[in-house]
A and B are shown apart, each in its own frame.
Chain A
Amino acid sequence: MASDHIRADMVDASEFSTLSQKYNVSGVPKTIINGSQFIEGTQPIDRLFLEILKVVHPEEFEKLKSEVRAARGGRRVRNPNPEHIYEVAIVGGGPAAMSAGVYAARKELDTLMIAQEIGGQVNYTASIDNYLGLPGIGGKELTEMFREHVERYPIAQALGDEVVSIRRDEEHYVVTLKKGVGYRAHSVIYCSGKEYRRLGIPREEQFIGRGIAFCATCDAPLYKDRRVAVVGGGNSAFTAARDLVNFASEIYLIHRRDEFTADPALIRQVSKAGNVKILTNRVVRDILGQEKFEGIRIRPSGDGPGEDLKVDGMFLEIGLIPNSDPVREMVQLNEKGEVRINHRNETNLPGFFAAGDVTDVFEKQICIAVGDGAKAALAAHEYLLEHQLTQSKVKVGDAWE
Chain B
Amino acid sequence: MPEVLDDNTRTQLGEILKELPETVKLVFFGQKPESPSCAQQRTILQEIAEVSDKVRVERYDFVKDRDKALEYGIDKIPATAVVTDRDYGIRFYGLTMGYEFSSLVEAMVLVSTGRSGLPEDFSALVGRIKQPVHIEVMTTLT
Chain A interface (Cβ within 8 Å of chain B)? 1-3, 5-16, 19-20, 23, 25, 28-35, 45-46, 48-49, 52-53, 55-57, 60, 64
Are A7 and B90 touching (Cβ within 8 A)? yes
Docked CA distance A204–B9 (Å): 65
Interface residues of B in 45-90 (CB under 8 A from A): 73, 76, 78, 88-90
In the complex, whether B133 has a CB less than 8 A from a CB of chain A is: yes
List residues of chain B with CB within 8 A of the CB of A11.
93-94, 136-139
List residues of chain A with CB within 8 A of the CB of B133.
3, 5-7, 33-34, 52, 55-56
Are B126 and A14 touching (Cβ within 8 A)? no
Docked CA distance A251–B140 (Å): 37
In the complex with contacts A13-B140, A25-B138, A56-B129 CB distance below 8 A: yes
Q: Which of A7, A14, A15, A57 contacts B130 (CB 8 A)?
A: A57
Are A5 and B138 touching (Cβ within 8 A)? no
In the complex with contacts A2-B122, A15-B94, A15-B95, A10-B137 CB distance below 8 A: yes
Q: Which of B115, B131, B136 contacts A31 (CB 8 A)?
A: B136
| B98 CB, nearest partner CB in chain A, Å | 10
In the complex with contacts A28-B139, A31-B136, A10-B91 CB distance below 8 A: yes
In the A-B complex, the 6 residue pairs with the smallest Cβ-Cβ separation, listed nearest first, are A12-B94, A7-B89, A15-B94, A1-B116, A2-B116, A32-B136
List residues of chain A with CB within 8 A of the CB of B115.
1
| B36 CB, nearest partner CB in chain A, Å | 11
Are A7 and B126 touching (Cβ within 8 A)? no
Q: Which of A11, A29, A32, A48 has the most CB of B within 10 A?
A: A11
Are A8 and B135 touching (Cβ within 8 A)? yes
In the complex, whether B1 has a CB less than 8 A from a CB of chain A is: no
Residue of B nearest to A45 (CB): B118
Docked CA distance A49–B129 (Å): 9
List residues of chain A with CB within 8 A of the CB of B141.
12, 14
Docked CA distance A30–B136 (Å): 8
Are B93 and A15 touching (Cβ within 8 A)? yes
Residue of B nearest to A32 (CB): B136
In the complex with contacts A12-B93, A49-B122, A5-B129 CB distance below 8 A: yes
A-B contact pairs, 7 of them (CB 8 A): A8-B135, A9-B136, A19-B138, A32-B136, A49-B122, A53-B128, A57-B131
| A197 CB, nearest partner CB in chain B, Å | 34
Are B134 and A13 touching (Cβ within 8 A)? no
| A171 CB, nearest partner CB in chain B, Å | 45
| A222 CB, nearest partner CB in chain B, Å | 17
Are B88 and A10 touching (Cβ within 8 A)? no
| B26 CB, nearest partner CB in chain A, Å | 13
Q: Which of B88, B92, B134 contacts A34 (CB 8 A)?
A: B134
In the complex with contacts A8-B135, A30-B137, A52-B133, A16-B94 CB distance below 8 A: yes
List residues of chain A with CB within 8 A of the CB of B100.
10, 12
In the complex with contacts A11-B136, A30-B138, A19-B76 CB distance below 8 A: yes
| B93 CB, nearest partner CB in chain A, Å | 4
Are B103 and A10 touching (Cβ within 8 A)? yes
Q: Which of B96, B125, B140 contacts A14 (CB 8 A)?
A: B140
Are B134 and A12 touching (Cβ within 8 A)? no
Docked CA distance A192–B9 (Å): 66
Docked CA distance A23–B118 (Å): 28
| B105 CB, nearest partner CB in chain A, Å | 12
| A71 CB, nearest partner CB in chain B, Å | 13
Docked CA distance A19–B116 (Å): 27
Are A3 and B129 touching (Cβ within 8 A)? yes
List residues of chain B with CB within 8 A of the CB of A53.
128-129
Docked CA distance A19–B131 (Å): 24
List residues of chain B with CB within 8 A of the CB of A55.
133
Are B92 and A10 touching (Cβ within 8 A)? yes
Interface residues of B in 96-118 (CB under 8 A from A): 96, 100, 103, 110-111, 114-116, 118
List residues of chain B with CB within 8 A of the CB of A29.
137-139
Docked CA distance A184–B23 (Å): 67
Q: Which of B91, B118, B129 contacts A9 (CB 8 A)?
A: B91
Extra 5 A-B pairs, beta carbons < 8 Å, given A6-B133, A31-B137, A52-B135? A5-B129, A8-B90, A12-B93, A13-B140, A56-B131
In the complex, whether B2 has a CB less than 8 A from a CB of chain A is: no
